Amino acid sequence: MPVPSMLFPADPLNPRRPDPHFAWEARLVRELGAEHLLVDHDALLAGRAEEAVRRVPLGSGPLWYRGWMLPSARYAEFAAALTARGGKLLTSPPGYAAAHELPGWYGVFEGATPPSVWIPTAGAVPPTPEELAEAVARLGGSGPAIVKDYVKSRKHEWHEACYVPELADLAAVGRVVGRFVELQGEFLAGGVVVRRYEEFERADGPDGDGLDGPDRLSDGDGCDAAGAVGGAGAVGGARGGRRAVEARVWWLDGRPVLVGPHPDAPHVHAEPDLTEVSALVRRLGCRFVTTDLASRADGSGWRVVEVGDGQVSDLPRGIDASGLLASLIAA
């Protein structure tokens, strides 16, 4: 079996080098004896996949990607352009979409993740009041909730565009959803998701101090395309302020190969119970995924906050990723 090579986004300012955000991972891959190859992220995003992969040698064989998030349609073009050059992404386009977009993984994780409903939208057009009322009714009609799209939230605009204190207040739901859609603009992925809000355990300390704002870290939650909705920082909850303790678990072929902090709070450690989620990850059937897990404030156990494609989930700075990268290379 040939050893998979690893694709990274090139530095836009110096296309022969990896993007500075991924340089340490690329170096580690090299030290582990595998090859890293570079792709042009801006060209991928612009729908010019052939141009994006022109530095990938012909016949490159099995490939993993570690890079910025791509919309599922762009990932499919990426995969096709690599296939045309004799390369093969080890995560298929349907596999990517299943892990990357909430409607793709929700059916498998239902019961282990906050109850959620979604409304597909045609671009950045907000759902109608009728569509929202119907979605809210499917979610039980009352209680607090959060709003996001199929991939990302606007957690840094928590009160304005993420948190809904009471679903029964349909006018307020409409305002938060409307503002969310407006802020996402052309980057809105898929449609609007509404999820029941659950109270998670929160951390104090340097990463749990409740300071919002993109000044804290870069793109903690997945490698955002163009940083459009990224940023990081703590999120306020219903109680405002302190960050939920989240662990990010990295799964390869159904096995947890790395359990670490969430990149938004690299110093907050948690030891999640993986019993239930292991079976769900195996049922999802995607080779390389992440799950962000939070512990319920009432002590009733761990919840899956989000699932992600492992190729575009961010690694916290300072983490020892050699085991994870070695597993990918051996896969």
Ligand X SMILES: Nc1ncnc2c1ncn2[C@@H]1O[C@H](COP(=O)(O)OP(=O)(O)O)[C@@H](O)[C@H]1O
- The stretch near Mg ion (CB under 5 A) out of 28-36, 118-126, 163-171, 214-222 is 214-222
The verdict on 244 binding ligand X (CB under 6 A) reads: yes
| Cα–Cα distance, 94 to 131 (Å, whole number) | 27
Pick between residue 6 and residue 189 the one whose CB is nearest to ligand X: 189
How many CB atoms neighbour CB 7 within 10 A?
A: 28
Pick between residue 221 and residue 224 the one whose CB is nearest to Mg ion: 221
* Residue 229 phi, psi (nearest 5): -125, 15
Which secondary structure element, helix H or strand E, spans residue 131, and what is its range?
helix 129-138
Residue 306: CB minimum distance to Mg ion, A: 5
155's contact among Mg ion, ligand X, none, with CB below 5 to 8 A by partner kind, is: ligand X
Pick between residue 19 and residue 221 the one whose CB is nearest to Mg ion: 221
Compose the 215-234 pattern: x for residues touching Mg ion by CB under 5 A, - for all others: ------x-------------
| Cα–Cα distance, 79 to 288 (Å, whole number) | 16
198's contact among ligand X, Mg ion, none, with CB below 5 to 8 A by partner kind, is: ligand X
Pick between residue 36 and residue 148 the one whose CB is nearest to Mg ion: 148
- Contact criterion met (CB below 8 Å) for 135 and 177: no
Q: What is the rounded end-to-end Cα distance, in angstroms, of the chain?
A: 9
Instruction: Enter the DSSP assignment of 229.
Output: S
Please pick, from the candidates 19, 101, 219, 246, the single residue that binds ligand X as defined by CB under 6 A: 246
Instruction: Show the tokens assigned to 63.
Output: 């490939």
Q: Is 274 exposed, middle or buried (0-12, 13-18, 19+ CB in 10 A)?
A: middle
CA angle, 118 then 275 then 301, to 5°: 65
Pick between residue 39 and residue 245 the one whose CB is nearest to ligand X: 245
Compose the 175-204 pattern: x for residues touching ligand X by CB under 6 A, - for all others: --------------------xxxx-x----
User: Binding to ligand X (CB under 6 A): which residues in 269-308?
Assistant: 292, 305-306
- Contact criterion met (CB below 8 Å) for 247 and 202: no
Cα within 13 Å of Cα(76), Cβ side:
8
Residue 277: CB minimum distance to Mg ion, A: 15
- Report the amino acid identity of residue 84: A
The position carrying tokens 């612009």 is: 46
The verdict on 155 binding ligand X (CB under 6 A) reads: yes
Residue 247: CB minimum distance to Mg ion, A: 12
User: Binding to Mg ion (CB under 5 A): which residues in 287-326?
Assistant: 306
246's contact among Mg ion, ligand X, none, with CB below 5 to 8 A by partner kind, is: ligand X
The verdict on 245 binding ligand X (CB under 6 A) reads: no
Instruction: Enter the DSSP assignment of 316.
Output: P
* Binding site residues, Mg ion, CB under 5 A: 221, 306
* Binding site residues, ligand X, CB under 6 A: 114, 146, 148, 152-153, 155, 195-198, 200, 221, 235, 244, 246, 292, 305-306
